[in-house]
Amino acid sequence: MKPYKKVYMYGGYNTISLGTGRKEFNPKVARPGIEHYIKEAGQAVLAQIGGAANVDDGVIGNFMAARFNNQANLPGFLPMIDEGLSMKYGTSVEGACGSGGLALQTGIRNILAGSDVTLALGFEVQNTVKAIYGADILAGAGWYQKRKEGHAYFFPGQFSDRAGAYFAKYGKENARKGMSRWFANAMINARLDPTAQEYHNTMPNPYEACLAAEPNGRAFVENLNYFDCSKVSDGASGIAVCSEEGLKKMGVDKSEAVEIVSFVQSVRDITKDPTDLTELEAIKYCANKALEEAGITVHQLSTAEVHDCFSIAGILTVEALGLAAPGKGCDYVAEGNTARDGIMPINTSGGLIGWGHPTGGTGVHQAVTIWQQLTGKAGDYQVEIHKDRPYGMTINMGGDDVTISAIVYKRG
């Protein structure tokens, strides 16, 4: 959809993405809980927008706090952030790893329904259980009737099958080169963002390391190595979604905000297997519809944030966007086109593999990065925003190409 009136985003904030790789992370020491993350992200946004008095309502995106943290009824945490949110409208949304994207979509719809400012948050705190049990919880993003036949590491298993199909159809060697370049880009970008999970990463040659790591189906999955996968993360992100009036109330110039050019949300039947494992059909539909509604082509984007829960998902999204023909996405990436100095920098703060993937928070983190990039606030990871292609885009995915959000932005 194209908004019938101006909708903006402003005041983004990310907590660190905590998990293996961060120096602060020690699995044996107690870590902050969900309250900490919700509060930190929420309060940091409020501090940028003149406080809770300016906020009409709030929405929290989260996937599985009910299992990771034994906590439901998440709207109740909005007033915990600030007393000023007490008794105001609040809701929470869930669409697996696409929950953050749903929070953004809900925020936009709130503004179109008459609100002036929505506080949109997304979070996940997943390090409460070991990865092998976390895999059970995350498998909830798939159809439970299929869990029994699925892999111990359910989602890596799903995308390993996609990688295997891609190898068979288009050749493994080129694909592995593209996937390894994807990983290397993620590390290079994450090292520039102090909140990234891989900020402390010092691998001397991530490309070679990923290329050399042969997948081990006995211990993990057949066609992906650990580098191909996003890690387990704790983290939260927040941003204010607002109307023109809302920006005025906050005292923020619209040039400091991003304007929503189009927003599309699409779902694919969770009970059906993908038609073609080498294509992300829901992402293809949703992203292209967003571009179409915005009235632009993909080549008018200066940067994009895509859902690379696995390197192969990043490659398939490049193809779904039409940046490369089917089977050529790996070459497009391997040639450096998506690197930060390439034609189309993608995932400039590291993406899910580099920045981290606190599942319910990822969609919001993507919007924060695009807001930072388009308004020149990205610090060390700033990339060039070309005058003749002033747009940015986020694509957030829940499950195996099931719950998709795509949003096109430009500077306000």
387 forms part of the interface with other proteins (CB under 8 A): no
Listed ranges 79-87, 116-124, 147-155, 319-327: which one lies at the site for other proteins (CB under 8 A): 147-155
Instruction: Put the strands of the sheet holding 89-93 in their side by side order.
Output: 89-93, 57-61, 117-125, 234-243, 7-14, 258-267, 403-411, 391-398, 301-305
Pairing verdict, β 57-61 and 89-93: parallel
Which two three-digit tokens encode residue 299? 């080549």
SS (H, E, C) 230-266: CCCCEEEEEEEEEEHHHHHHHCCCHHHCEEEEEEEEE
Q: Using CB under 8 A as the criterion, what x/- string covers residues 199-238 for binding other proteins?
A: ------------------xxxx------------------
29 forms part of the interface with other proteins (CB under 8 A): no
Q: How far is the CB of 141 from other proteins (least distance, A)?
A: 14
**Judged by CB under 8 A, which of 25, 37, 153, 183 binds other proteins?**
153
Q: How far is the CB of 148 from other proteins (least distance, A)?
A: 5
Pairing verdict, β 391-398 and 117-125: unpaired
Listed ranges 20-28, 134-142, 171-179, 366-374: which one lies at the site for other proteins (CB under 8 A): 134-142
Rounded to 10°, the helix 311-320/154-170 angle is 60
Q: How far is the CB of 98 from other proteins (least distance, A)?
A: 22
138 forms part of the interface with other proteins (CB under 8 A): no
Total residues interacting with other proteins, rule: CB under 8 A: 16
136 forms part of the interface with other proteins (CB under 8 A): yes
Q: How far is the CB of 216 from other proteins (least distance, A)?
A: 10
C-beta separation of 138 from 358 below 8 A: no
C-beta separation of 262 from 379 below 8 A: no
**Judged by CB under 8 A, which of 78, 111, 139, 211 binds other proteins?**
139
**Judged by CB under 8 A, which of 32, 33, 76, 133 binds other proteins?**
133
Q: How far is the CB of 337 from other proteins (least distance, A)?
A: 32
Q: How far is the CB of 220 from other proteins (least distance, A)?
A: 7
Q: Hey, which residues between 323 and 342 contact other proteins (CB under 8 A)?
A: none
Element (H, E) at 57: strand 57-61
**Judged by CB under 8 A, which of 135, 368, 370, 404 binds other proteins?**
135
CA distances from 161 to 150, 167, 194, 402 (A): 11, 10, 34, 16
Q: Cα separation of 201 and 356, whole Å?
A: 12
Q: Using CB under 8 A as the criterion, what x/- string covers residues 284-323 for binding other proteins?
A: ----------------------------------------
C-beta separation of 98 from 160 below 8 A: no
169 forms part of the interface with other proteins (CB under 8 A): no
How does 212-248 read in b/e, with b if 16+ C-beta sit within 10 Å? ebebeeeebbbbbbebbbbbbbbbbbbbbbbbbebbe
C-beta separation of 18 from 269 below 8 A: no
**Judged by CB under 8 A, which of 5, 23, 132, 388 binds other proteins?**
132
Residue ranges that bind other proteins, judged by CB under 8 A: 130, 132-133, 135-136, 139, 144, 147-148, 151-153, 217-220
